[in-house]
Structure 1
């Protein structure tokens, strides 16, 4: 047993000053669906609705134990880390300056201020996070404050390991598998490091967003690398570069055990958990559940723990999430139809729609100097097979069309 194990247990006991252990709940719906014992570790039920409070609290606790003169902390964050640090600053009675991008939604700014109260100042700077981060580090150096990193910090990783401590204590035995979401690597490295020491038979699967696969890239290169592009939809895990310290603890991972979850598929899980279970998850929090489809055959009859990392979801995004889920399931499509400019042409087209086909978008511009006009159409249906029938009928009747559902460039401007 390494020194990391007792340190993680000490951190867990210290955390009880802030909140009780988060629930570990057997989920009947998922267990029946996959023929396994599926348990959800509900980190969406911490006081700040994410696991980030654990790492921020532990780092602040240990820093102040080593040097009580440190009374000023700084971080750069647009979400969960900011809220975890704000909560911790108020708990310890120390000053915190939190740099956030100017584009941060007001809801997240307001929550950060509410958690920190008089102890926290929020500074909005930079349109993009890299500029916000640079401003935070420059201010930190000038003021002599302590920069609290969101994941690339040994004390933060130790704090996230408390999730693993609680899982074993609550379950009472070693799970067969733990499924973890990966962003910068703090949670996945901390939990897997602890459980590998005390529960060596437990397997792991790591889940990244398809548009932010920093762990997969690091494992393939043998070191953390900077991704050229990152899809920011999974904002809690869309990280362009895995942390150096987390990678040191994750270098053993088999790349085949890193699951890449498409962003639109994650939306299906978010809608499913909301409608069926009444559980509100942010995209990163839904990833471990979403990955169960990829490992369905491996987990039959086994005990599997999915760490639900967070539930900070802005409901203004719900229409987008529903839209992306429908598109992934093949139940919603957008296409451009070339319609002859003659009386009755539109009626002819509408007559071939089925009883389950619903027009969700319709834009038509008649141009008198042309023989054909273009229509942007969005259709929803109950069964993807309905589109096969519809398109076959359109072709049979001579209607020319172009499916633009997966055309990212056109969708950005037209949809």
Structure 2
């Protein structure tokens, strides 16, 4: 397999806070496209009619893992395999999509992968990770506890810890943002869900690299307010998580590097409730017949919330993933979330 490297795995923290350049994103795209094609962006007439705006959906639910994270994983592991020839295994923590990304990318390079998930995690995401050959461990009551346990196991077993936010991950994820901006000119505003921060950082990187004036709005769960509260206070704030449907946004503890980027460059943050996300899942299905997971529908939920603000504008929403458990999807469609 051809070896690629965009930036060294072990760059210092100051460099991590710098967003990837256009050249780095384009290098990352070469790696991504060796494993998958670009995903589509469609302007759906029913959505545009419903929102009174020109609405474009970036379909990251159409990747090999059903979510945007795989792009970052492919780029990260290309660099890791090139730099660390004798690596014995990797470990990471996830609620699902990052874990599938690690699992698929690790498998491509023949690297054993262990993934830690919290108790009560999505059964179908767990099954998808196991199908990729990962050693799945259930530990903790939320993502943060799983992450801390994974870091402990990494130290004890000499495993490489793959964090959920890293400059290489951002460079890989930014390839979908570059696709969107190059396919659709003059987007006024783009809504991006915030889980741990790689997606919104990637969107900022692509916007800045292309010199665009598009407003980048981060979207968080109203039941997982760590990034929203930190953005308001411009300092690190932890916040409890109670969301039932948006597991991909269930962040109790912000990542400091992601938070620094978000506080300094995101135009604003919108909070959406579980009920609004359920409505967005319904809307996406009715208007496009695409299935969205909770976090994947968050951008649409924000666009629906801000309908009056965006009348007549050209907007884009990122459908970040479609990995929702069947029962939860049925509940969302039936207003039982």
TM normalised by structure 1 equals 0.72
Confirm or deny: 8 A CA contact 2:195 2:248 kept in the other structure: yes
Asked if 1:300 corresponds to 2:320, the answer is no
Query: What residue is the counterpart of 2:105 in the other structure?
Result: 88
Counterpart selection for 2:182 from 162, 165, 169: 169
User: Which of 207, 224, 232 is the matching residue for 2:236?
Assistant: 224
Check the 8 A contact 2:144/2:252 in 1, yes or no: no
| 1:12-411 pair list within 5 angstroms | 12-114=29-131, 116-117=132-133, 120-150=134-164, 152-171=165-184, 173-253=185-265, 257-324=268-335
Contact 1:48 1:80 in 2 (8 A): yes
Greater RCO (CA < 8 Å, at least 6 residues apart) = 2
Residue number among 22, 42, 45 corresponding to 1:5 in the alignment: 22
- The offset of 1:14, in angstroms, is 0.9
The residue matched to 1:206 in structure 2 has which SS?
Answer: strand
Structure 2: runs of 5+ lacking an equivalent: 1-18
Contact 2:20 2:205 in 1 (8 A): no
Conserved? CA contact 1:98–1:123, under 8 Å: yes
C-alpha distance after superposition, 1:218-264 (max 9, x if no partner): 12222232114443431011211221111222222467x21111111
SS in 1 for 2:72: helix
CA distance in 1, matches of 2:259, 2:50: 34
* Structure 1: gaps (5+ residues): 328-415
* CA displacement, residues 263-288 of structure 1 (integer Å, 9 cap, x when unaligned): 11111121232234321111111111
The structure that has the greater radius of gyration is: 1
Q: The residue matched to 1:161 in structure 2 has which SS?
A: helix
- How many residue pairs get matched? 320
Q: Distance in 1 between matches of 2:145 and 2:190?
A: 35
Distance in 1 between the 2:326 and 2:206 partners?
Answer: 35
Distance 1:107 1:228 in 2: 25
